């Protein structure tokens, strides 16, 4: 991975993941953060003259982005990725195979109706995943508009086949495998049961530089709520891991599978956690032959984020802690830390700007002319200077262990309005942090999960586990459906066929999933889509059986109970805590490897 000069054999790729466009777009202070950084990323692609950009999932923050978000995304992609600059790599794979589940099978820069200077390839994430009739996602709009090329979209939930996008530049040949986000338990089960097939080129397959891009949990959140790295095939050279927001752009070697893993992280902080506070960057990947290197390119427009842990027992002496005004003393300690954080942010060399407009006046003046020469545009790209926003994000995680008292976090934030971007949630209080961490460790040890913990236990997560959950997840929605739409709920929580006598056409799992899509994804036609789909399947089932009129109702009930049994079996398999990882030496890393013919001229 030594430094080498760029030449006709070097592929230059800009790597970015989890852009979350439209995050808190209605916030008067933070609403434009995601768009500002997204524009900087596209600007960096022009400055470094990359061959293409790769988005590793979650371009959008919501599955149904607002009109403003879609408009800004289209505007920025058109402004920075269209032009007369030539594309210097070839596409060797069949677009009808690689883009089988999209509207257009042609890469956008090869479309004679488009003038693309920087191609962009993307996968969908869990935030902008396909929903509703046709399984469309927000990135499908960008693909159909010719702005990006959507990869990794699968139409099957029982078996996945991944055909690579094959590219060639000079003597460098690259095979890009991609898989969009799927439910964690399903992904774990499919890889574990060898139901994921990777196709490889037949001509000298080991001479291709193989990249796999995915958008799943990398850190362990439960027995099957993540994808272990050793499930991936060992012929890969580099894995681009999306979904995790912590920036770990430097390649990490996996000695068991013999490939590198890079985790670009998010470009905007969507949670006030410790991992989000680390410096955010994009990666400049350079590939020549079988060699590669990744250069870290820090992002300048990211809003400064300071995260601090405050242990009051170390801040306040015992004599003070026995005073009557203990809460006031705690508040003063927090005020001091916030003031220190603000001072440190303003004193950094690339401190935040005092203006909301981040683009120099010279750029606005040139852009206002109707005619701008290519040389002026090139000079313009070099002249742009990016600055972070003025108000930083600050989060104090205060440990109250030792008998300390909390205070009103909302009132505390009022004094910093106009100076910080998040005055409403500056403070997070933790009670008995050590006890909660110990309890979490004991539970993990009992369930055999302690080997998957990375040692960086987030106290906010630990404290949150002891609090009553607010809101509903898909499992809770399904439980509500089971409770109110069945005659007698099973005491074990597993619905049996005898419990489903009230529901004769739909199963509780199907209704629960549709309700979850309706509530969480704002899919207003989710229920209608379920009704039409199940009715179509039922009619087809009755026609195949050629049942007489008096058998229609019993056969409909029987068909419903059959689907119910399949749902319960799948649920038990997903929730099983005794699954063991496959032997990679026997299974090739948990995947089946097949070959397909690829004509390389």
Output the six-digit token pair for 597.
């013919």
- Other CB atoms within 10 A of residue 568 CB: 17
Q: Are residues 174 and 211 in the same domain?
A: yes
Is 276 a domain residue? yes
Q: Are residues 415 and 550 in the same domain?
A: no
Structural domain boundaries, residue 263: 10-302
CATH number at residue 309: 3.30.110.110
Q: What is the pLDDT of residues 455-503, one digit of tens each?
A: 444 444 444 444 433 344 444 555 566 566 554 444 444 444 444 446 6
pLDDT of residue 537: 87
3-state secondary structure of 372: coil
> What backbone torsions phi and psi does residue 441 show, to the nearest 5 degrees?
-65, -40
Q: Are residues 187 and 330 in the same domain?
A: no
Q: Are residues 295 and 437 in the same domain?
A: no
Q: Are residues 194 and 82 in the same domain?
A: yes
Distances (CA, A) of 211 to 1, 122, 268, 384: 16, 13, 25, 32
Q: Are residues 167 and 246 in the same domain?
A: yes
Query: Rounded mean pLDDT of the chain?
Result: 80
Q: In the chain, which residues have pLDDT < 50?
A: 1-4, 355-372, 449-475, 487-501, 574-601
Domain count, the chain: 3
Q: Sheet holding 120-122: strands in order across?
A: 149-150, 120-122, 52-55, 11-16, 281-288, 291-298
3-state secondary structure of 127: coil
> CA-CA distance, 123 to 524, in Å (whole number)?
24
Is 194 a domain residue? yes
Q: Are residues 280 and 309 in the same domain?
A: no
Nearest-10 Cα torsion for 24, 25, 27, 30: 80
Distances (CA, A) of 363 to 73, 153, 357, 366, 466: 20, 39, 12, 5, 52
Is 90 a domain residue? yes
| Among 124, 120, 110, CA closest to 42 | 120
Q: Which residue has the tokens 């500002």?
A: 36
Is 455 a domain residue? no
- The active-site residue, picked from 20, 80, 109, 127, is 127
| Among 586, 572, 590, 570, CA closest to 192 | 590
Residue 313: Cβ-neighbour burial (10 angstroms; 0-12, 13-18, 19+): middle
> CA-CA distance, 282 to 265, in Å (whole number)?
8
DSSP string, 78-96: HHHHBSSPPP--EE-S-HH
Q: Are residues 329 and 437 in the same domain?
A: yes
Q: Are residues 440 and 507 in the same domain?
A: no
161 within 8 A of 199, measured Cβ to Cβ: yes
Q: Are residues 18 and 115 in the same domain?
A: yes
Is 253 a domain residue? yes
3-state secondary structure of 382: helix
> Active-site residue 127, yes or no?
yes
CB contact burial 431-454 (16+ within 10 A = b; e otherwise):
ebbeebbeebeeebeeeebeeeee
> CA-CA distance, 56 to 176, in Å (whole number)?
12
pTM of the model: 0.74
Element (H, E) at 365: helix 361-367
Is 57 a domain residue? yes
Element (H, E) at 455: none
> CA-CA distance, 500 to 195, in Å (whole number)?
31
pLDDT of residue 529: 79
Q: Are residues 329 and 259 in the same domain?
A: no
CATH number at residue 226: 3.60.21.10
Is 454 a domain residue? no
Q: Are residues 213 and 268 in the same domain?
A: yes
Is 580 a domain residue? no
Q: What is the largest CA-CA distance in the chain?
A: 87
């Amino acid at each position: 991975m030594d430094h080498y000069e760029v030449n006709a054999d070097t592929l230059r790729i800009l790597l970015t993941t989890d852009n979350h466009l439209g995050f808190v777009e209605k916030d008067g202070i933070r609403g434009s953060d995601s768009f500002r950084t997204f524009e900087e990323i596209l600007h960096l692609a022009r400055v470094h003259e990359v061959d293409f950009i790769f988005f590793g999932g979650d371009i959008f923050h919501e599955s149904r982005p607002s009109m403003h978000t879609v408009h800004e995304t289209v505007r920025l992609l058109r402004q920075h990725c269209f032009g007369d600059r030539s594309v210097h790599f070839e596409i060797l794979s069949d677009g009808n195979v690689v883009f089988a589940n999209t509207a257009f099978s042609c890469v956008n820069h090869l479309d004679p109706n488009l003038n693309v200077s920087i191609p962009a390839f993307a996968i969908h994430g869990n935030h902008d995943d396909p929903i509703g009739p046709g399984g469309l996602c927000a990135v499908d709009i960008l693909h159909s508009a010719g702005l990006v090329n959507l990869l990794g979209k699968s139409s099957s939930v029982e078996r996945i086949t991944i055909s690579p996008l094959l590219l060639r530049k000079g003597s460098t040949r690259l095979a890009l495998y991609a898989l969009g986000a799927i439910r964690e338990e399903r992904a774990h089960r499919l890889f574990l049961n060898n139901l994921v097939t990777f196709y490889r080129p037949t001509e000298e397959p080991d001479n291709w530089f193989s990249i796999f891009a995915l958008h799943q949990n990398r850190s362990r959140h439960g027995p099957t709520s993540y994808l272990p790295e050793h499930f991936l095939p060992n012929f890969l050279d580099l894995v681009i891991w999306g979904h995790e927001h912590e920036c770990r752009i430097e390649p990490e070697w996996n000695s068991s599978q013999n490939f590198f893993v890079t985790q670009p992280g998010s470009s905007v902080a969507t949670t006030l956690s410790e991992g989000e506070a680390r410096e955010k960057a994009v990666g400049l990947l350079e590939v020549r032959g079988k060699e590669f290197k990744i250069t870290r390119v820090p992002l300048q427009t990211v809003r400064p984020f300071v995260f601090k842990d405050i242990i009051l027992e170390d801040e306040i002496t015992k004599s003070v802690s026995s005073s009557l005004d203990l809460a006031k003393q705690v508040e003063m300690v927090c005020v001091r830390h916030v003031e220190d954080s603000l001072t440190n942010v303003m004193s950094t060399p690339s401190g935040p700007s005092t203006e909301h407009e981040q683009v120099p006046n010279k750029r606005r003046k040139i852009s206002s002319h109707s005619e701008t020469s290519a040389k002026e545009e090139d000079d313009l790209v070099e002249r742009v200077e990016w600055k972070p926003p003025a108000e930083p994000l600050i989060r104090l995680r205060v440990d109250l262990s030792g008998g300390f008292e909390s205070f009103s976090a909302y009132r505390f934030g009022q004094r910093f309005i106009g100076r910080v971007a998040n005055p409403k949630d500056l403070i997070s209080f933790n009670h008995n942090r050590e006890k909660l961490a110990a309890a979490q460790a004991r539970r993990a040890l009992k369930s055999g999960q302690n080997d998957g913990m990375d040692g960086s236990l987030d106290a906010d997560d630990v404290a949150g586990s002891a609090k009553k959950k607010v809101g509903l997840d898909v499992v809770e929605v399904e439980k509500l459906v089971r409770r109110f739409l069945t005659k007698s709920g099973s005491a074990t929580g597993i619905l049996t066929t005898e419990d489903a006598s009230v529901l004769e056409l739909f199963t509780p799992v199907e209704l629960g999933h549709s309700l979850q899509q309706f509530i969480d994804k704002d899919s207003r036609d989710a229920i209608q889509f379920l009704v039409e789909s199940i009715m179509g399947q039922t009619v087809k089932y009755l026609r195949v059986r050629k049942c007489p009129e008096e058998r229609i109702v019993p056969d409909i009930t029987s068909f419903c109970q059959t689907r119910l049994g399949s749902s319960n079996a799948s649920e038990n398999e997903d929730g099983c805590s005794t699954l063991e990882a496959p032997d990679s030496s026997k299974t090739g890393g948990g995947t089946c490897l097949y070959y397909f013919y690829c004509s390389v001229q």
